[in-house]
Amino acid sequence: MNTYSDKVMDHFQNPRNVGEVENADGVGEVGNPTCGDMMRISIRVKENRIDEIKFKTLGCGAAIATSSMTTELAKGKTIDEAMQITRASVAEALDGLPPEKMHCSNLAADGLHAAINDYRKKHGAGE
């Protein structure tokens, strides 16, 4: 009977893909330090696929775990596939989040989408 699932704890304890992609093709920054959570996702795109993805986050345990999980889910996917990753699918992949933490899983998916949009804008493939 844990507040966080084992998957959340695993990603929290061993966060994947921490950092910044150098010379990223797209960067998404969401959240606000005033609210206590902020997140930056940077991606490198090769042949329309997410070749490299990294995150940095200021936030709670759930924020870290969802960031980590989101990067794992997105890695290797095509841009279009990655856009399908929703707030709900991240939470599901983590075996659920406490209700009051759903907000954080939103943040990570939002960050990913922002990064892809940034890439599209820069590379003329925008919506």
From candidates 58, 83, 86, 120, binder to another protein by CB under 8 A: 58
Write out the two tokens for 15. Answer: 């966060």
- Quote the distance between the C-alpha of residue 80 and its chain's center: 15
Q: Should residue 36 be labelled a site residue for ligand FES when binding is judged by CB under 6 A?
A: yes
Active site annotation includes 35: yes
Distance CA(120)–CA(74), nearest Å, equals 16
- Taking the least distance from each CB to another protein, the nearer of 64 and 82 is 64
**Would you give the end-to-end CA distance of the chain in angstroms?**
44
Question: Is the distance from CB of 90 to CB of 74 less than 8 angstroms?
Answer: no
Shortest reach from residue 81's CB to ligand FES, in Å: 26
Active site annotation includes 104: yes
> Given the rule CB under 6 A, which residues bind ligand FES?
36-37, 59-60, 62-63, 101, 103-104
